[in-house]
Structure 1
Amino acid sequence: MLNMLEAAAEQMVVHRDFQAAFDTCDRSLQSLCGPEAEDSRSAEFKAGFCTIGIQALAELNQWPGVLPWVLQQYELQEKIPAKIMQMCILLYSKVGEPAVMQEAARVWLHCPSNSKASGFGTVAELHLLHVLVPLGRTDEARELIVGEVGGRAFTEDQRRTALDVVDEREQQNLEPPLNPGGSPNSAHSVSNKGAVIHKLKAMLRFLYKKLFMTGSGSFSLQRIFLAAVLLYMLLLRMDPALPSSFLWISKLLELLKQMWSTMVAPYYHSLTQSKALFTQNLVEG
């Protein structure tokens, strides 16, 4: 199994033969079926093959078949590993079909055994930001935040921040359409741009507060991974030559300025004062 997993990874990354990588994963998963596949080692191999298989299907532009293929391997939605669920949510959000994951993520989050999984909180965050909020499911989003799932997935500060995100989305839905006298296509385009920018501000605010204002003082690998994924989706998958990208970049710069003020500016200000005082004493002496 280890050799097969390495072969699939090589086909995927080195040779970029996505079909061969998927075929290798699919054959290997078939050989993992049976009672012997329930042990932890086999479960790790299974998750590894699914991870590469999902990436291969996405590269082949066969993303509609990702969730059915994953369910073929795990049979039930609630048995899907947290990392695989996270990948599926991000994939279907990226292709503009977040509704595909709405029911699967809901079932997964409400399964009691999944609440102990290390990636439970991340699945809840992605479900909120990439499924419920984009779909305008504000009532379901609030229920997720303040309910039993939110109590296990979020801290008190995170719940307040998440509720702010949902409130902003609901307020946006109630706002009248811009440029009512314009053409329908123009109004739709302006509305879409406003929705994208509004969603970006909410996501950046949520990410900033989560990483720097939770008071935990530690940066877990899980949080760093989530931050890297979000920034990757915002930057590397965006054409900076497009005029619509300027506002995205300006919001990111605003976030970086906030990070500077929080982490570096106090120490820089203190150092500047100390240097000025030393200079003054030297001159007076």
Structure 2
Amino acid sequence: MSSIEGRHPDRNLINMPMKQNLVKEKHDASLHLISRDFETCIDVCQKALHVLSSTVDLQQASDHQEEMEEFIVIIVQAYAELDRWQEVLPCITQHYSGIENVSPNVLKVCLLLHAKVQEFSTCSALYNIWTSSREGREVNDSDLEMLLDIYVTQTLLQAGKSSQITEVVQSSQLSQDTKERLIATYSELVRETQLAEETASTTALPDLAHPQNIVDRVVAKGLRALRMMLMWIWSVRPRLSTRTLYSLGGLATLLIIATQGFDTSNRTLEILGNLMEHFIRSKR
């Protein structure tokens, strides 16, 4: 008899036939998920979860919780692929009798899913319900820190609620040293995020926001118009002297210098050069 059976003689671990059946169903569900047969995957998981959640004498068995977790993770992925994320919480609460009873790994999946679809208020509700239910109860610090990190980085920061981070960290059940370390880490992360946003907003400004860019565009349009005019004159007066063409080109050059100074853009010079080269070749 195993040590767990010895401590709980009235509760058995999952018996071998059931265990083998669950292993097979988990394997089948994973294959359906990989092959993108999501509906069948959900059906297989639902049946297995129903067996696990309805077997009262298995509720405290250690391998019972592990089996529940694995099927929940698979079924959540299937719902997400079908864009039926609204069905995830009803499914979980049905088998766990409330979000406060789920394991840290199951809550992790829920937080990540709802953050991905930007249901930040739901993430906050899930995290607060679960952490409140853990007050006065022993919880692994690594699990607490993992969930806190997901909530801060995927919910509070993404929702623009960085001002709440310190309060959330301080209200956790982590040690004071850990809280101070996390607050320092998140403060730096907030600064980096704000700097990145400011940089992105600056570089995202349209070209016309800079006066010199306005001049560049006006001059370029003017040169294109001049080229069209010269082409028209050449078609009407094919014997027009090269001197006249150079005079018009010089006029365009003066226009560039007057509006931009001698530090003209490469694009503008290229347009002017192509313009004169075209008519010199045409004259020949």
The TM-score with structure 1 as length reference comes to 0.54
Q: Find the partner of 1:29 among 49, 52, 56.
A: 49
Whichever residue aligns with residue 45 of structure 1, its letter is E
Q: CA deviation at 1:136?
A: 2.7
Structure number with larger C-alpha Rg: 2
Identity %: 22
Matched, 1:2 2:26: no
Question: Counterpart in 1 of 2:36?
Answer: 16
Alignment of 1:84-123 (within 5 A): 84-110=106-132, 111-112=134-135, 113=137, 115-116=139-140, 118-123=142-147
CA contact (8 A) 2:45 2:75 kept: yes
Matched, 1:124 2:144: no
Change (3 A) 1:161 1:117: closer
CA contact (8 A) 1:50 1:70 kept: yes
Structure 2 unmatched ranges of 5 or more: 1-21, 207-284
Change (3 A) 1:33 1:148: closer
Report the secondary structure of 2:46's partner residue: helix
Matched, 1:136 2:160: yes
Q: How many residues align?
A: 180
Alignment of 1:40-55 (within 5 A): 40-55=62-77
Structure 1 unmatched ranges of 5 or more: 183-285
Change (3 A) 1:95 1:114: farther
Change (3 A) 1:52 1:166: same
CA contact (8 A) 1:141 1:166 kept: no
CA RMSD, aligned part only? 3.1
Question: Counterpart in 2 of 1:241?
Answer: none
Report the secondary structure of 2:157's partner residue: helix
Report the secondary structure of 1:115's partner residue: coil
Q: CA deviation at 1:145?
A: 1.9
Distance in 1, matches of 2:176 and 2:67, equals 28
Q: Find the partner of 1:159 among 183, 187, 200.
A: 183
Change (3 A) 1:152 1:73: farther
Report the secondary structure of 1:10's partner residue: helix
Whichever residue aligns with residue 50 of structure 2, its letter is Q
The TM-score with structure 2 as length reference comes to 0.55
Question: Counterpart in 2 of 1:70?
Answer: 92
Distance in 2, matches of 1:130 and 1:123, equals 10
Whichever residue aligns with residue 44 of structure 2, its letter is T
Q: CA deviation at 1:46?
A: 0.7
